[in-house]
Amino acid sequence: LAQPPYLKYSIVSPEGKLLRTVPIDLPVGVMMHDFAITENYTIFMDLPLTFRVERMQRGEPAFMFEKDTPSRFGILPRGGDNSNIRWFEAPACYVFHTLNAYEEGDEIVLIACRMQGTSVLAATEAVEDSNSDIPFLHRWRFNLKTGAVLESSLDDIPSEFPRVNEQYLGRHTRYGYTARAAKTAMPLFDGLIKYDFVKGNSQIHEFGRGRYGGEAVFAPRKGATDEDDGWLITFVYDEEKETSQLVVISGKDIAAEPVARIGIPQRVPYGFHGTWIDGVYM
């Protein structure tokens, strides 16, 4: 973060071999927490949560969200280098986690949980909207032919930790899943949301009173042909009973009761990311 290149792009083979690493030019170091891929492109997010040494030398926070600096999204052919990247500008925002990206005609489509600003990791300049630090599911369309950027909010319910059936990652997905933010002082999550991007609707699974979970992973059913044929798996903690469970929820009908609740003999702390690995690979 302190000196260029502020970003390096690496490609790793399915066997785990590092194939190549190329530098990507950025004007300043930024907190780039995630990126996305499509079948033919990689998408980088140069967002204005910046790291500036000169601020630190003045005794100010090194990290700061610069609300007047535009966001930039870089679209790079997956086998390309810095000379091939194309940058698109959009209003200032911050994204921790992407849901998916895909190609549609002349457009690259990105879906992610967007915040207008953030003070999570840094000091921030004053932002007028009191919801600036709250993430909402959001869509960007980057037109490779015209250079236009089209944005749209997909929900007014705050949520984070977006996931898809990863067998469809980088391709057009009908469904997406997020963790619903609870109305609590602490950043807790009291349910899951399933989005149907074709019908434009959603389903909600509520963990129950005093029960909070986190990011759900999608475990596809063996031999499934439907994108949502599988299960969402997450840990849920009951703050009243002080017990943890591994909860398994139908991917097709998340509003239904869980198909399984597995008691854990000790507390599982609130956490972030996980993944599902089929037993044949273990």
Whether the CB-CB separation of 188 and 212 falls below 8 Å is answered with yes
User: How far is the C-alpha of 240 from the C-alpha of 211, rounded, in Å?
Assistant: 8
Residue with tokens 């000379």: 83
pTM above 0.75, yes or no: yes
Q: What is the CA radius of gyration of the chain?
A: 20
User: How far is the C-alpha of 143 from the C-alpha of 158, rounded, in Å?
Assistant: 27
User: How far is the C-alpha of 265 from the C-alpha of 97, rounded, in Å?
Assistant: 31
Q: Mind listing the pLDDT tens digit of every residue in the chain (282 residues)?
A: 778 999 999 999 999 999 999 999 999 999 999 999 999 999 999 999 999 888 888 988 888 999 999 999 999 999 999 999 999 999 999 999 999 999 999 999 999 999 999 887 655 555 555 567 899 999 999 999 999 999 999 999 999 999 999 999 999 999 999 999 999 888 899 999 999 999 999 999 999 999 999 999 999 999 999 999 999 999 999 999 999 999 999 999 999 999 999 999 999 998 888 888 887 766
Domain ranges of the chain: 1-154, 156-282
Cα 139 to Cα 70, 148, 150, distances in angstroms: 17, 14, 8
Please give the backbone phi and psi of residue 84, each rounded to the nearest 5 degrees, phi first. Answer: -100, -5
Structure tokens at 191: 């349910």
User: How far is the C-alpha of 218 from the C-alpha of 248, rounded, in Å?
Assistant: 10
Is the peptide bond preceding residue 5 cis, with omega within 30 degrees of 0?
yes
Whether the CB-CB separation of 231 and 219 falls below 8 Å is answered with yes
Eight-class DSSP state of 255: T
